[in-house]
């Protein structure tokens, strides 16, 4: 067995960014070690898919993200891996603990099926993998192989962590570093509630030098045709991951304004991301939610958003500011106001369904072209 520090000392020689994950018993020494290292930024994710989005955001701006999960959560990462990281060429380092390993003693019943298919599932989704090193002499060569793959292929690399690979590492400071700041739910006073189209709403926004993440579907299509720029990252797939991707970028580039253009259906898919953003409170994070109460890209089927107050949820989850707006004047005014406020802030924009009959084409850029020019624009 090795100490967690041996693995991390070797990883630190590379350009490492944000680490994120969901705790697991076999991962405990490594997770604890990272959490207590002042030079490593660990984000506790509410789901494994969110952890991939956060790490991908860090990798997208040039600092390789790390994801730590138990194999029971592999199913939750398949969508963001296949439609985000592997499609756009965004690598990350993955450590997966192997519960239910058929070559080891019998584990809890719920781990048996996933334990049998862990290695084949990792291979199936296109992730290069190795067994986590359990001998000190194997650490440097294994990590070198992983980062050769990451840097040359721009694809994730994984370590499968077996039982009895790591010595114990107890956490000595397990208290939450909670920054409790009462949020402000802003009341928008609009005499009439005339709904904008999505197209008109996006046209009302001035992005300046913002790094913009737009969620999959109609929002990315409209943004591309209205205001294409290298600082826009158009998501195509990985629905629900925009908030997490933006969080990873915001934490890695705290001096840049990050604007996330989300939709009601997309946010509802990973609603827990509100809590993660609210807990870590990136000051440079502005979350815009366009809400037409439907899934516009797939024919306008109704979403459940009519019973959801996104502004109230954001404040309850720890956002510093939130407001719901309807018309052009309010949208422009609160967009400017929230950009000047310390974030995270949420701007909930109620819009009409009118754009659905004239849906623009997808961005003409390939996913890898979108990612490459975004990377190049980050530090401009």
pLDDT for the residue 380:
60
Whether residue 151 has pLDDT greater than 70: yes
Predicted model pTM = 0.95
DSSP one-letter string for 129-193: EEEPP-SHHHHHHHHHHHHHHHHHH-S-EEEEE-TTSB-----S-----------EEE----SS-
C-alpha atoms less than 13 angstroms from C-alpha of 378 in its C-beta half-sphere: 21
Tokens of 251: 């934490």
Partners of 295 in the β-ladder: 301
| CA distances in angstroms from 199 to 218, 226, 306, 330, listed in the order given | 10, 8, 21, 16
In this prediction, residue 186 has a pLDDT band, given cuts at 50, 70 and 90, of confident
**Using CB atoms within 10 A of its CB, is residue 6 exposed (0-12), middle (13-18) or buried (19+)?**
middle
Task: Reply yes or no on whether the pLDDT at 175 is more than 70.
Answer: no
Domain 4-161, CATH among 3.40.50.1000, 3.40.50.2000, 3.40.50.970, 1.10.357.10: 3.40.50.970
User: Can you give the pLDDT at residue 264?
Assistant: 95
Average pLDDT for 165-187: 78
Q: Cα–Cα distance between 101 and 111 in angstroms, integer?
A: 8
Query: What number is the average pLDDT over the span 360-373?
Result: 94
Q: What pLDDT score does 353 carry? A: 84
Give the percent of the chain with pLDDT over 70: 96
* Residue 358, pLDDT above cutoff 70: yes
- What pLDDT is stored for residue 265 in this prediction? 93
pLDDT band at 355, cuts 50/70/90? low
* Domain ranges within the chain, ordered by starting residue: 4-161, 184-377
pLDDT in tens, 35-68: 988 888 999 999 999 999 999 999 999 999 999 9
Lowest mean pLDDT among 102-111, 311-320, 325-334: 102-111
Locate 281 and state its tokens: 């409170």
Tokens of 170: 């107890």
| Residue 109 predicted with pLDDT over 70 | yes
351: confidence class by pLDDT, cuts 50, 70, 90: very high
The C-alpha R_g of the chain, in whole angstroms, comes to 21
Q: Buried b vs exposed e over 298-318: b needs ≥16 C-beta within 10 Å? A: eeeeebebeebebbebbbebb
109 is written with which tokens?
A: 């019943």
Residue 182: pLDDT band by 50, 70, 90 thresholds?
A: confident
Q: Which CATH code of 3.40.50.300, 3.30.559.10, 3.90.400.10, 3.40.50.970 fits the domain covering 184-377?
A: 3.40.50.970
Three-state helix/strand/coil letters over 195-258: CECHHHHHHCCCCCCCEEEECCCHHHHHHHHHHCCCCEEECCCCCCCHHHHHHHHHHHCCCCCE
pLDDT of residue 356: 62
CB 312 within 8 A of CB 185: yes
Give the residue-averaged pLDDT of 75-99. Answer: 97
Residue 188: is its pLDDT beyond 80?
no
CB atoms within 10 A of CB 208: 9
Residue 221 is predicted with a pLDDT of 95
Q: Mean pLDDT of all residues in the chain?
A: 93
Neighbour tally for 75: CB within 10 Å: 12
Cα atoms in the 13 Å half-sphere on the side-chain side of 231:
16
β-strand partners of 128: 157
């Amino acid at each position: 067995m090795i100490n967690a520090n041996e693995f991390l000392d070797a990883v630190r020689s590379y350009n490492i960014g944000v680490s994120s994950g969901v705790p697991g018993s076999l991962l405990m020494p490594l997770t604890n070690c990272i959490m207590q290292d002042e030079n490593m930024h660990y984000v506790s994710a509410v789901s494994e898919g969110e952890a991939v989005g956060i790490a991908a955001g860090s990798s997208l701006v040039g600092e390789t993200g790390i994801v730590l999960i138990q194999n029971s959560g592999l199913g939750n990462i398949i969508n963001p891996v296949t439609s985000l990281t592997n499609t756009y060429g965004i690598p990350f380092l993955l450590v997966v603990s192997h519960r239910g390993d058929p070559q080891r003693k019998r584990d809890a019943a719920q781990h048996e099926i996933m334990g049998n298919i862990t290695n084949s599932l990792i291979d199936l989704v296109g992730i290069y993998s190795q067994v986590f090193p359990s001998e000190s002499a194997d650490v440097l060569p294994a990590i070198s192989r992983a980062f050769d793959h990451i840097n040359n292929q721009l694809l994730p690399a994984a370590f499968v962590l077996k039982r009895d690979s790591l010595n114990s590492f107890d956490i000595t400071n397990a208290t939450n570093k909670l920054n409790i700041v009462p949020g402000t739910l802003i009341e928008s006073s609009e005499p009439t509630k005339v709904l904008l189209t999505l197209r008109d709403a996006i046209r009302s926004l001035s992005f300046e030098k913002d790094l913009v993440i737009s969620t999959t579907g109609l929002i990315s299509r409209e943004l591309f045709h209205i205001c294409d720029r290298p600082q826009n990252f158009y998501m195509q797939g990985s629905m629900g991951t925009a908030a997490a991707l933006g969080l990873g970028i915001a934490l890695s580039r705290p001096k840049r304004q990050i604007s996330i253009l989300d939709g009601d259906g997309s946010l509802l898919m990973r609603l827990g991301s509100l809590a993660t953003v609210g807990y870590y409170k990136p000051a440079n994070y502005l979350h815009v939610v366009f809400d037409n109460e439907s899934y516009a890209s797939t024919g306008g089927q109704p979403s459940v958003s009519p019973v959801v107050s996104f502004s109230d949820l954001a404040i309850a989850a720890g956002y510093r500011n939130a407001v719901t707006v309807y018309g052009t004047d309010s949208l422009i005014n609160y967009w400017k106001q929230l950009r000047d406020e310390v974030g995270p802030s949420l701007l909930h924009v109620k819009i009409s369904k009118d754009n659905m009959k004239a849906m623009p084409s997808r961005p003409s850029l390939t996913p890898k072209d979108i990612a490459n020019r975004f990377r190049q624009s980050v530090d401009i």
